[in-house]
Amino acid sequence: MFRFSLRNLLASKVRLLLTMASVAVGVAFVAGTFVLSDTMAKAFDELYAGLTAGTDVVVRSESAYDADLTTTGGQVRPVDEGLVARVRAVPGVEVAEGSVFGYALVIDSHGQPVQPGGAPTFGTSIAVDRRLSGAATIREGRAPVGLGEIVVDARTVRRAGLALGDHVDVVFEDARRTFRLVGIVGFGETDSILGATMTGFDLPTAQTVLGKTGVVDEIDVRGADGISDSTLRDRIASVLPDGVGAETGEQVAADSTDAVRDAMGVFTTVLLVFAGVSLLVGSFVIWNTFNVLVAQRRREVALLRAVGGTRRQVLTGVLLEAVVVGVISSAAGLGLGVALAAGIRQLLKLIGVDLPTTTPAIETRTVVAAFSVGVVVTCLAAVLPAWSAARIAPMEALRTAAPVNRGSGRIRHAVGWSVLAVGALMLAACSVAGDQRWWTVVATLTTFLGLVFVGPSLARGLAAVVAHARRPGWRMAARNVARSSRRAAATALALTIGLTVVAAVAVTAASLKDSVSAAVSGGNRSDLILEPEGAGMGVSSSVADLLRARTDVDAVVELREWGAQINGDDQLVTAVDTAGLDRVIDLGIASGSLDALRAGSILVSTAQARHLGVSAGESVTVTFPETGPRPFRVAGTFDKGSLINATYVITLSDFEQNVTSRLDQAILLTTPGLDPDRAKERIGAALADYPNVTVNTPQDITRKAQHSVDQLLGIVTALLLLAVVVAVLGVVNTLVLSVMERSRELGVLRAVGATRRQVRQTIRRESVLMSTLGAVTGVALGAAAGVGLARSLSEQGITTVAVPLVTLAAYVVIAIGVGVLAAVAPARRASRVDVLRAVAEE
């Protein structure tokens, strides 16, 4: 039986390749995701291990909870520098040095900020004891001493066009300062830490410029020979005050890696969602392929049954074939996945995230996941076809007629339309009700399930309409689609899935874009909005001071945000100047009042207030990672926070008591009496020392936000296109198989005078019909799902729903165009059938 299966497989290499490709893409996504995240974790592991190599114990404040790296930057409350002496006095401690970190942006020789995309720009103190710096070494020059000296990482030195002895300008949280470059830092073989720019100073200088006078962020300790890290840690811990802890260097490295892994979680999830979509599409292609194969082999199987093959043997045979396909495609997918991971790494490097070099990490888990996903999906998709193969009666060997579409059962029909109707109604209900994210997903899946059932009927319906065409090409194409309506439907459904997701994303993105402009024009009262450029970490607070001193600026409102837990949930807390707040923004206060926002109170978005079940006057607990739980009184609720992306608003003074960072996320200004463009120009000129700050009119903000939505849409669509490609492979596969199946028919057609072109046209039109079916159902379902989704993302700032009809229509047209392309090879094959062989009597 096994040999039989294998022989069947090898009989058509093209088919095998197409079938495999449809699984391999999905597997590649799964494997690629794992390889990428494992490789990154490994790289960070090695990096942190290197950095902490010379450090036995680290002393620092404990975080109130495991805060998300992306919203807190890992900042813990600094400790008093007096503690360094106390730690140094612990027996067994050989060296103990305080160190500080903070925001520091290097300005290059042309006055432009050296801004890596996404990676931090930080300054730190350079340990006097070189061994404490671990893998971070001074490659050239020497360590900095005193207020005027700086060392910079090698990558930044290169990018900024600097040389030893040059003057380097650096923007800090509180000012811009000038230094002389005395050393260049490297990290083992790597020039930078993940593309971050790093500047180093001696400790007193670092404390001054980073705003940490009299405090240190951590104390790095090296023990005397012969004392174990854990013993040392325990001894040190016993002298530390409450809230300050000691950890071994290894532990710190491991924790840092974990934190990075957590921060990558969203990224990983998104990639796995793409994997899921392409696997679903792929499973339809597999299902279809096996269905066709079984149909083509009916006589063969029947013959096998007639000579004594049992049902079980037939079933096993087909499933065995599926397993082989699954295993081969998984192996291919795994290879592709490793390449994909490398590709994404290169992509990250292009945008400035310089990953430390390391070999790709292919864990056993990745291999197991790749193979089980590939094999399971293939087998699941082949189960039904295998089952129907097993039910072929031996008698069929004697019948000569080609397999005809058995009429689908009336029950299946009724169930299908009911499921479709239920799904559609649910979708409509979700769109009307709003805030039904999960129900929208359930409704979409239900509708899709309905489509699976009624797909053949839809295919026949479409064919019936087209069959009335006068042109014989269309008529024949329609008849062929109607004849194998199940196959056509399954082929189209693969496309449906891809286009559903693409269309849903398009609707959500369009809604988001509209909401952004609505938010800016609705809640905004400011004339100018200052933001850090690109993926910058923030704007120095000295910028706000500089603006307040100007006479042409009226209100200046600083805005900061930080991660914190509200009643136990991770959230972003926004802090604002209360003075002048209602001159720059209308928060749309729904209850309570803006005036009630004072120290110790908080404004909560209406939706979150409902979620938490609190109202004005009641209390919520905000847990800051640095300082722990603090009670806040709800001053009121608001509706229109989307301009500043705020759900929780506190005062700047409360923020400063609980968060060390002084960076502004944005500064909102009013410039009464000034023409906006003129104001932009003047403020821009005044901020010449801060080239990392962009001055924007509200229109600029809208445009920037819409642009970033477009960019995101582009990336997501590009990734989803891979799923569409799989579906297109399915179309090619179906067409090739049906051309093979119909070679005699095509021969007759050619014999009675159909030109090659006419034959090609017929196949192309079949493809177009299937693509149309997939495209129209997919785009319609996706649009409906998108509306439901957009209606459920009001908290994420989607307040209006927009359906981009032109884009959706373009998707349909493109999908049909792709159908034409998919038909090229099968059509050519069809037009080359050997007329004589086709019509020769058997």
Q: Which residues bind other proteins (CB under 8 A)?
A: 401-402, 404, 472, 475-476, 479-480, 482-483, 744-745, 748-756, 758, 835-836, 839-842
Closest contact distance (angstroms) between CB of 772 and other proteins is: 19
Rounded Cα distance between 207 and 216, Å, is 8
The DSSP H or E segment spanning 704 is: helix 698-741
Question: Percent helix, strand, coil in the chain (nearest 5)?
Answer: 60, 15, 25
d(CA 306, CA 408): 27
> Which of 12, 758 has the CB closer to other proteins?
758
| Residue among 278, 229, 271, 275 at smallest CA distance from 250 | 229
Q: Which is nearer to other proteins, 533 or 745 (CB)?
A: 745
CA torsion sign for 814, 820, 821, 822 is: positive
Question: At its nearest, how many Å lie between other proteins and the CB of residue 477?
Answer: 10
C-alpha–C-alpha distance, residues 488 and 774, integer Å: 9
Q: Which is nearer to other proteins, 493 or 754 (CB)?
A: 754
Query: d(Cα 589, Cα 464) in Å, to the nearest integer?
Result: 58
Cβ 830 to other proteins shortest distance, Å:
14
Phi first, then psi, for residue 43 (nearest 5°) are: -60, -45
Nearest to 173 by CA among 75, 62, 256: 75
Q: Which is nearer to other proteins, 17 or 838 (CB)?
A: 838
Angle (CA) 201-203-208 rounded to 5° is 85
Count Cβ atoms within 10 A of the Cβ of residue 622 and give its class: 0-12 exposed, 13-18 middle, 19 or more buried.
buried
**Helical (H) or strand (E) element with 782:** helix 756-791
The nearer residue to other proteins, 253 or 462, going by C-beta atoms, is 462
Residue 155 or 764: which CB sits closer to other proteins? 764
Q: Which is nearer to other proteins, 390 or 482 (CB)?
A: 482
Cα–Cα–Cα angle for 274, 485, 16, nearest 5°?
Answer: 55
Q: Is the CB of 465 or the CB of 805 nearer to other proteins?
A: 465
DSSP 110: T
**The tokens 């291999």 sit on which residue?**
367
CB of 745 to other proteins, least distance (A): 6
Please count the other Cβ atoms lying within 10 Å of the Cβ belonging to residue 347.
Answer: 11
- φ/ψ of 751, rounded to 5, equals -65, -40
- Nearest residue (CB) to other proteins, 805 versus 840: 840
How many helical (H) and strand (E) elements, i.e. helices and strands, does the chain have? 27, 23
* Beta carbon nearer to other proteins, 654 or 766: 766
356: DSSP letter: P
- Residue 794 to residue 801: CA distance in whole angstroms: 10
Residue closer to other proteins by CB (options 463, 506) is 463
CB nearer to other proteins: pick between 384 and 398: 398
CA distance 829 to 620: 70
Q: Considering Cα of 342, then 347, then 349, then 353, what sign does the dihedral take?
A: negative
Coil/strand/helix, residue 12: coil
Smallest separation, CB 496 to other proteins (Å): 25
Smaller CB separation from other proteins, 477 or 501: 477
DSSP letter, residue 105? E
How far is residue 90's CA from residue 83's CA, in Å, rounded to a whole number?
Answer: 11
DSSP conformation class of 396: G
CB of 288 to other proteins, least distance (A): 20
Minimum Å gap between C-beta 756 and other proteins is 7
**Interatomic CA distance for residues 667 and 701, integer angstroms:** 12
CB count within 10 Å of CB 15 equals 18
Residue 450's nearest CA partner among 474, 427, 431 is: 427
Q: Minimal distance in Å, beta carbon 501 to other proteins? A: 34
Q: Coil, strand or helix: which one is 504?
A: helix
| Least CB distance to other proteins at residue 470 (A) | 9
Q: Choose between 339 and 835: whose C-beta lies nearer to other proteins.
A: 835
DSSP-derived pairing of the beta strands 218-223 and 244-248: unpaired
- Site of tokens 């975080």: 63
Closest CB 769 distance from other proteins, rounded Å: 13
Distance in Å, CB of 473 to other proteins, minimum:
9
CB-wise, 175 or 402, nearer to other proteins? 402
Q: Residue 260: which of 92, 119, 97 has the closest Cα?
A: 119
- The CB-of-475 to other proteins minimum distance in angstroms stands at 8
Distance in Å, CB of 395 to other proteins, minimum: 18
- Least distance (Å) between residue 454 CB and other proteins: 22
Closest contact distance (angstroms) between CB of 763 and other proteins is: 14
